[in-house]
Chain A
């Protein structure tokens, strides 16, 4: 029987900042400060838990662990009392480039799935490589907003084992990290191995992939498009999944415009949007950011107050699955377009399209 091949990479500085009260661990200065304050690296130990779990679930099979040498992977494998089948030596640069090079090397070496230990910054580096095999995040960082992480380290091993033995599927999951001003920003999606209850969902409420509501929302939006209208799609997993259900491929992180003829423009800015909606019946479709619930003004500034006014505030369509709305925990949806009058007009109650023939009457506030 051919052995299973699992790649292991650790971001050794992930999580350094957390234990000593810093908001993250990105950047050499923060890491040095953390070490000065007495932080103890823990990413390797967390990765070892995942590896141990993986092996304990596949005792009947041969598992070849491919690991980057030293604290970037192999040490964690040994900590789990296992021996790497291959140790890949890589030049080190001490920053995110290490993670990127490591994931590339592991995929090239034939890994069927890659376990990576880190936080949101690490996930962005993995995303940059666009690996062709599924990955699973072992949560070890300070910031874990991305939906690519398992709910805990052992769960990552459990999911990897389930994936290798055909008991878990894959799905697209969001990579989110703090942008400027600390508000979460969506960077893109990674293909992760997933078991429903083992992969983190809640933090960003991001991965809404509730197939029923996506298909239902898509049917409603599709009817607008079929009627000849232009539809401006804000960023996010929901809007992207809705577009995909309509056979349209739009980038997850940008604003796009679609109509009967297909994608009119992808990843466009405010001026371009104003030009596109001029003289046309148009709709703006946005999905709230998870947890915080921003409709406008965070991560989608391209949909400027002028664009909203050109289209008409009454033609702002909010879409979300009921589950994602629930992650707001009762807090209102938020608008902060920079145009107070417009924010006021949008606040009150909005009808959120939650599925086919379904809306939620939900509070919004400025």
Chain B
């Protein structure tokens, strides 16, 4: 047992001074939850391969069939045929199932913990009942190349979801094709460029303005599209600096890309003025509404004057985040910009749904029609709540956030920099600066120690503008008891940082992996996201 465990065991060994194991006494209040991850020493699936083992043995075609059909592989053009079989793992079904179940136990997943620590990610409950719709053969067995006539049902869902998102944002049209938030932001930037091109101003307008606390995807997408990025810093009150905006706009301004509330949870009360100033300079305004959870049914992008906006369906609208896999983004525009939307989009003539490509489309953002299963989940989520329900979601999310903020700020050493004393919308970027200066224990360590209590947090995007940051976003899914538990965990870790910093600095103690070497994540010669790359960079290198 390492030191951290002993310390922790000592602490939970008594409750309110009563030894936990005393005969006849039951603790009035449970101590903080302890968590211990399973450890399976599981190999990579490729290393589990056993030559000749099979998960499925498809029957050979009957003799009669073979006579009629011949060898179907021979019908494939030679260029499409592999000369060697693919190097896939050879395993039975049981072994595959066991492998993934083990991996799932070595995880601290969204449905296991009070997942409020992934601020900006809007972790909320994804109702499992929606998965029944997604798994239904009516959706699962569809093929994107099927004739439109045969998929009217799913086209109707996409069309109606677009209508709802238009209602929620005030925009005139939406594309549901982007695979995630950043893809939707990129689509918006591409439409902005197409708009300026259509007016012969694309060459002149080469700058995009954003704020330092807007999500970094905005700056990144603008740069990827070839724009110069101008970043605004907060003013003395902690709000985006209006004077800096005035100094930044001009004939080179293509657009403002802005998040509101910003990643700090602070709502920009002068957003109308930002939009007006950029419009007067001839630029467009795009609203990053990835985290719309706190303003749902309360404010609308179009009402604030924006020309474009986007939603992350995998945040606000409850669909799974999918960890780099298919999420779902939606980008919305005014009628004036609708002809540039990525396509195809779904149109309805009163009787039939059809797929049409907008006249001056920027082109597809991904193949076919977006991530259909997530569109169905988002549709189910919205319809199950209704308009009043959506507003209630926002109200509870904001209430939860401000309640949690109060609890967190009661912890000595924690603070919420910028706009002090003001309420936040749906999340807060906090700082442990004071605690770190006092104890030497940093935010990263505290986030890892939280894993020993069955939860975790993420710090913030890089660079860390807020020192020793952590970002909490308690959506409507969490109860008051959940939030109390979370705050109690952080209070406990802050106490440990003062009294036994070693326990925190060497955490986590009960996880599958003790600490990752994070520097290798930034090292292209070390990272390996495929088996092939792993073999080349690590196995081969070791054998040399």
Is the Cβ of B444 less than 8 Å from the Cβ of A354?
no
> Residue on B with the closest CB to A359?
B230
Is the Cβ of A196 less than 8 Å from the Cβ of B519?
yes
Is the Cβ of A167 less than 8 Å from the Cβ of B517?
yes
A267 at interface, CB cutoff 8 A = no
> Residue on B with the closest CB to A354?
B231
Do most interface residues of chain A lie in helix, strand or loop, or is the interface mixed? mixed
B217 at interface, CB cutoff 8 A = no
A301 at interface, CB cutoff 8 A = no
**Distance in angstroms between the alpha carbons of A202 and B437 in the assembled complex:** 11
A197's partner among B236, B439, B442, B462 (CB-CB below 8 A) is B442
**Distance in angstroms between the alpha carbons of A319 and B517 in the assembled complex:** 31
Q: Which residues of A contact B227 (CB under 8 A)?
A: 357
**Distance in angstroms between the alpha carbons of A321 and B464 in the assembled complex:** 11
B219 at interface, CB cutoff 8 A = yes
How many A residues touch B, CB cutoff 8 Å? 29
> Residue on A with the closest CB to B522?
A211
Q: Which residues of B contact A151 (CB under 8 A)?
A: 436, 440, 442
> Residue on A with the closest CB to B466?
A326
Q: How far is the CB of A195 from chain B (nearest CB, A)?
A: 8
Q: Which residues of B contact A357 (CB under 8 A)?
A: 223, 227-229
A152 at interface, CB cutoff 8 A = yes
Q: Which residues of B contact A91 (CB under 8 A)?
A: none
Q: How far is the CB of A156 from chain B (nearest CB, A)?
A: 10
Q: Which residues of A contact B505 (CB under 8 A)?
A: 154, 158
B212 at interface, CB cutoff 8 A = yes
B444's partner among A197, A321, A348 (CB-CB below 8 A) is A197
B233's partner among A196, A197, A325 (CB-CB below 8 A) is A325
Q: Which residues of A contact B230 (CB under 8 A)?
A: 351, 358-361
**Distance in angstroms between the alpha carbons of A270 and B236 in the assembled complex:** 36
A349's partner among B229, B231, B243 (CB-CB below 8 A) is B243
Is the Cβ of A330 less than 8 Å from the Cβ of B463?
no
B247 at interface, CB cutoff 8 A = yes
A323 at interface, CB cutoff 8 A = yes
> Residue on B with the closest CB to A216?
B223
Is the Cβ of B231 less than 8 Å from the Cβ of A358?
yes
Q: Which residues of B contact A323 (CB under 8 A)?
A: 462-465
Is the Cβ of B232 less than 8 Å from the Cβ of A326?
no
Given A197-B444, A349-B243, also A359-B436 (CB < 8 A): no
Given A169-B519, A323-B463, A326-B465, also A359-B244 (CB < 8 A): no
**Distance in angstroms between the alpha carbons of A196 and B463 in the assembled complex:** 12
Q: 8 Å CB contacts to B: which residues of A313-366?
A: 321-323, 325-326, 330, 348-349, 351, 354, 356-363
Q: Which residues of A contact B439 (CB under 8 A)?
A: 152
Chain B residues with a Cβ under 8 A of chain A: 212, 219, 223, 227-236, 238, 241, 243-245, 247-248, 418, 436, 439-440, 442, 444-445, 462-467, 501, 505, 517-519
5 contacts between A and B (CB under 8 A): A158-B505, A330-B235, A348-B247, A358-B229, A361-B241
Known: A323-B463, A351-B230. 10 other contacts (CB 8 A): A196-B519, A330-B233, A330-B236, A330-B238, A356-B223, A357-B223, A359-B229, A360-B230, A361-B233, A363-B243
Chain A residues with a Cβ under 8 A of chain B: 151-152, 154-155, 158, 167, 169, 196-197, 202, 210, 321-323, 325-326, 330, 348-349, 351, 354, 356-363
